[in-house]
Structure 1
Amino acid sequence: MNAYEGPAPGIEIWPAFPESCDPAVASQSIQHALDLSVHAEQLGFDWVSVSEHHYAPYMMTPNPVVFAGALTQVLKKARIALLGPLVPLVNPVRLAEELSMLDALSGGRLEVLFLRGTPNEHKTYDTKTSDTRGMTQEGIDLVLKAWTEPQPFSWEGEHYQFSKIAVWPRPLQKPHPNVYGSGNSEESVLFAAQRGMGIAFSFAPPDVVKKWVQLFHDEAKKCGWQPGPEHVIYRGIAFAGDSDDDAMAQMGAYFGQKAEEQALFQSQAMGGPPVVPLISEPYFVGGPSTLIERFQVLRDCGVGVVDMAFGVGTHEQKMASMKTFAEQVLPSVHKM
């Protein structure tokens, strides 16, 4: 997670006032995020992810493509996952071009999760929330066609109109990088299944995941294809300790410190994204045996890819947590 490491407003405050940002701290925080990414590759993690957020300190990647471009130059083996660009906030043709560049820069290691974004994010550029579902779905269709169409073409849709589209470079991966859509609603699950895409869940309880995965499989079967576990991503906040008590104690101390810092900013406007229980009480927190059990639960739900945000603790605590996970949990996970 590319989070600001100094005192700053909490996730519930949006937009966060720019006066709270010390540019030197922000620069160091971004460098630490790159260092954590290299550390993850060295420890044997399969990919490093980056997502898009605006006007907030908890994720300083208003353009995830820029950060992903930097990752292509420091990571040599790990895949690079954009989870994801917020489709209604960008020009979909420009997005297709930039993602193709990233696939080329990375040597064909790009993964993409296309997202709609939370209601507060739609206010970034005054996008009408009521239009964002249609913009997301049409934008995805446009990106996929732009990646695969061999001849220049025009586009006349409900939300987008372009007289000429001819994307250079084309993606290195054929027909294009692995793509995923949201799995957090019935309509999104059906949309992804109908286009042969994977799905992704963020901070959802396992019983909900299991229900949507079954719907995904049922719809994909109707469309003539069979998803595998690799088509289902689960995303959650992670902190690995030597034991459950150790992990909870470290997380509690960190959150307590952050609560004291954030109390100084409570006079600022609220309006952040919904804070669901698995954000305030993360799923992947505990000692090795607990974490292995939680991975098995997700595996039984049909999840094959887990994206963990090691966003709890100081930079040193994050490095140590990742090391504990890699040494004591990852070998068992890779055997599932």
Structure 2
Amino acid sequence: MGHALPGWAPAVGGTGCVFCLYSAHEDASARMGFQALRCEGQPALHARTVGDDSVHTAQGGHMEFGCFFVGQRPLLHEQYGDGQQRNPLPIARTDAQVYHDILKSAQLAETLGFDSVWIAEHAFSEHSIISAPHSLLAAIAAQTTRVKVGVACSIVPWYHPLRLAQDLATLDILSEGRLQIGIGRGYQKQEFDAYGMDMAESRERFLEGMDITLKAWRQERLAYEGQFYRFPEVMVVPHPLQHPHPPIAMAVTHSPASVEAAVAHRWGIVTVGSTFFPAAPEADDNLITLYRTHMLASGVAPEELTIIAARNTYVAAREGEAQAFMQPRFQWAGDLARYLRSPVSTLARTGGLRGYEHYARDPFIDPELVQRRGQEALGAIGTPAQVTATIKDLQARHVTHFLCYMDLGGLTYEQMAPAMRLFAEQVIPHFK
């Protein structure tokens, strides 16, 4: 099992908020939307790729490993609810330094033998300064040749779906078929407010956006009349290199509705803390178990499942060294996460935000829920042996892909590189 730090659980859970969620309380129209998407073309859990398909599937004890960079940039002086100032770094970094460190780290990940490199998408806070992820991912693809590349997650409601389809298809071509796609609908209210969007519409915008995006990849010409998007017949170009499209994984962290959507489309799933969160208050099964059960029942073979777990990761040689190094970063990240997630949780408790009802008790910021459900293996922090044991536990829970969330609290390239090397040399070989 994972080795939890005393008092760090809320912060660990908070850092998981890079992924975007569905509500458990979907209505009939949303269910119809899921089914409509499912009927469009032939959904594929794994795309037919240029080259070896085995990178998409963990078989017989084999696990895929990726590096995940969020692009955090702690401010030199910042205050949250308790008025205390915290910054785990002695100095603040520039935006350019954050981006260049990610590029160097991505190249190192390829050299060390990692299977994939992923980046986040967020805007308007130091939690992540990657607000144009497709541009950054194009640079990563240009500076690497082998690793799969992906965004976890592209926040679908923010995009015109034709633009999203074009951007992702272009990335797949430029990366020579190495693109993997993570999708979500967003959870930070300040982001929707800044873009002038009604957050309560995010579910419907997500459904309609994905309907158009999938059709754009499968059809030569497309016209559409929807609730949010209407356009005459247009020629849709370019198309992705992978056919019919790159592999898609949907973020599932809170709700069974997310699992239902992923199963309906035969998408993979991305989890942060949901490995240990029940699928419903009265249920014993967690979301991964729920997903796997329904996928197998629908005829998908176990070796075709894609279950991705992203965890804060840091490896050091000596006992206690990694935990001590990461402690202030977890504290900073937890404070920021509560600040960013609380507005949605508050509105959900009063029924003031349709589609986010499940946030009424947010397991990433509610101390009681975190204490009860969240301490175990929300981070892979420790010696190589400790981290290996944590990941083996996740593997026993049917996780097929492990993403090392490397830059929590604004770690620099110089701070990440030794941990990445140690992970590659002394952890990955146990799973190959």
TM-score normalised to the size of structure 1?
Answer: 0.84
Q: Which residue of 2 aligns with 1:225?
A: 300
For residues 55 and 102 of structure 1, the distance between their equivalents in structure 2, rounded to whole angstroms, comes to 24
Residue 129 of structure 2 corresponds to 60
Tell me the number of residue pairs that the alignment of Structure 1 and Structure 2 aligns: 317
Displacement of 1:318: 1.0
Q: Match of 1:299, SS? A: helix
After superposition, the Cα gap between the structure-2 partners of 1:8 and 1:48, relative to the gap in structure 1 and judged at 3 Å, is farther
The residue aligned with 2:341 is: 273
Structure-1 separation of matches of 2:77 and 2:398: 38
In structure 1, list runs of 5 or more residues that go unmatched. 14-21
CA contact (8 A) 2:380 2:387 kept: yes
Contact 2:311 2:404 in 1 (8 A): yes
Alignment of 1:30 onto 2:99: yes
Aligned to 1:139: 209
What letter corresponds to residue 133 of structure 1 in structure 2? R
Partner of 1:16: none
CA contact (8 A) 1:229 1:304 kept: no
The one of 72, 87, 96 equivalent to 2:156 is: 87
CA distance in 1, matches of 2:249, 2:79: 29
Structure 2 partner of 1:17: none
Checking the alignment, whether the CA contact within 8 Å between 2:152 and 2:181 is kept in structure 1 is: yes
Distance 2:299 2:234 in 1: 30
Give the letter aligned to residue 244 of structure 2: P
8 Å Cα contact 1:192-1:198 kept in structure 2? yes
Letter in 2 for 1:240: V
Structure 1 residues 244, 154: CA separation in 2 closer, same or farther (over 3 Å shift)? farther
Query: Mapping of 1:178-217 within 5 angstroms?
Result: 178-184=247-253, 185-206=255-276, 208=278, 211-217=286-292
Structure 2: unaligned runs, 5 residues or longer: 1-68, 83-90, 280-284, 343-363
Match for residue 197 of structure 2 among 127, 140, 160: 127
Higher relative CO (CA 8 A, sep ≥ 6), structure 1 or 2? 2
Aligned position for 1:331? 429
Among all aligned residue pairs of Structure 1 and Structure 2, give the percentage whose two residues are the same amino acid.
26
Q: 1:286 is matched with which residue?
A: 382
Distance between the aligned counterparts of 1:105 and 1:132, measured in 2?
30
Instruction: Report the CA distance between 1:152 and its aligned residue.
Output: 0.9
Deviation readout 1:89-137 (Å, 9 max, x if unpaired): 1111100000000000000000001111113232231321211112112
2:417 aligned with 1:319: yes
Q: Determine the C-alpha separation between the residues in 2 that align with 1:10 and 1:106.
A: 41
Q: 1:325 to 1:11 in 2, by over 3 A?
A: farther
**Counterpart position of 2:327:** 252
Answer yes or no: is the 8 Å Cα contact 1:229–1:305 preserved in 2: no
CA contact (8 A) 1:236 1:283 kept: yes
2: CA distance, partners of 1:52 / 1:201: 16
> Does the CA contact (< 8 Å) of 1:194 and 1:223 recur in 2?
no
Q: Which residue does 1:241 correspond to in 2?
A: 316
Q: Residue in 1 aligned with 2:235?
A: 166
Is 1:113 matched with 2:182? yes
Matched residues in 2 for 1:135 and 1:309: separation? 29
- Matched residue SS, 2:202: helix
- Contact preservation (8 Å) 1:288, 1:329: yes
On the 8 A contact 1:72/1:106 being kept in 2, the answer is yes
Instruction: Identify if the C-alpha distance between structure 1 residues 52 and 253 changes in structure 2 by more than 3 Å, giving closer, same or farther.
Output: closer
Residue identity in the other structure for 2:128: M
Q: Which of 386, 391, 395 is equivalent to 1:299?
A: 395
Q: Quote the Cα distance in structure 1 between the aligned partners of 2:76 and 2:309.
A: 29
What's the CA shift for 1:250?
1.4
Deviation at 1:47, TM superposition (A): 0.6
Q: 1:58 Cα shift?
A: 2.9
CA 1:67–1:202 in structure 2 vs 1: closer, same or farther (change >3 Å)? same
Query: What is the one-letter code of the residue matched to 1:302?
Result: H
User: What SS is found at the alignment partner of 1:204?
Assistant: coil
* Deviation, structure 1 residue 308: 1.6
Amino acid at match of 1:172: L
- The residue type equivalent to 1:63 in the other structure is A
> 1:200 aligns to what SS in structure 2?
strand
Paired with 1:299 and 1:24, the residues of 2 have a C-alpha distance of 36
CA distance in structure 2 between the partners assigned to 1:110 and 1:273 by the alignment: 29
Q: Report the Cα distance in structure 2 between the residues aligned to 1:73 and 1:290, rounded to whole angstroms.
A: 35
Q: Cα distance 1:129–1:291, how it changes in 2: closer, same or farther (>3 A)?
A: same
Whole-angstrom distance in 1 between the partners of 2:430 and 2:79:
35
Amino acid of the residue matched to residue 401 of structure 2?
V
